[in-house]
Amino acid sequence: MTPPHATLTELEWELIPSSGHSAHMHMALDEVLLDRVIARVRKPAVRFWSWVEPALVIGSHQSVMNEIELVSARRLGFTVTRRMSGGGTMICEPGRTITYSMYLPDSAVKELSFRQSYAALDAWAMRSFVALGVPASYREINDIISPSGKIAGAAQARRKGSVLHHTTIAHQMDVEIVDQLIRLGRDRLSERGVRSAVKTVSPLAWFTSLSCAETRTWSGHSRTSSALPTAA
């Protein structure tokens, strides 16, 4: 078991294999697994998700009315769900999106600012992309990018001395679908809620011939065989 107050480089990580669940179940698993880390009945863990349905995942402080084109979402078969972390709306699709969550005590990132913790916790993923030949770099506060746009975005929730950090990676995406599903730059329909930022998407498949499943496996292998996450 990881000792109390271990730093990021001292954590002992458990890799939870990818498993397919509904969008709502993935959100519930994040809460359950974080609670188990809080209770210290589970050591710090990395969980890879497998999407079995298209989903629009909104941040904890967002308004569905402001963010989602609900008519288009229903027509295209997207489930709308809310995660426990902040940030903007993510488009997730089976065989096209890679998502992972990390559950850890906040003492591991106590020497880092909130902004720095994002880059530190995603450093291993960015290194795995670079090893694949992807021209990846980090853009504060929470994006992995290429020269062409955003590859991945991260979000966090902090609760009772523990951190949930999760990152969603666009392996493939029809970039034209973004405007059909998310109300980027459009007038508010509600005064409440944080708005998603307008950012150009740059799917990982533009830079690698590996499939979504192969890339997820590569990233998982890189996570277990590389150094523990540290700032690049």
Give backbone dihedrals phi and psi of 156, rounded to 5 degrees, phi first.
-135, 155
What percentage of the chain exceeds 70 in pLDDT?
86
Coil, strand or helix: which one is 179? helix
The strand order across the sheet containing 79-82 reads 79-82, 55-58, 90-92
> Residue 156's beta-bridge partner residues?
165
What architecture is domain 8-184+195-223?
A: 2-Layer Sandwich (3.30)
For tokens 């974080």, what's the residue?
34
Helix (H) or strand (E) holding 180: helix 177-181
Give the chain's mean pLDDT.
87
137-148 pLDDT, tens digit per residue, is 999 999 999 999
Q: Reply yes or no on whether the pLDDT at 182 is more than 80.
A: yes
Q: What is the mean pLDDT of residues 192-213?
A: 74
Distance in angstroms (rounded) separating the CA atoms of residues 60 and 38: 20
Q: Give the model's confidence band at 21: pLDDT under 50 very low, under 70 low, under 90 confident, else very high.
A: very high
Distance in angstroms (rounded) separating the CA atoms of residues 10 and 228: 8
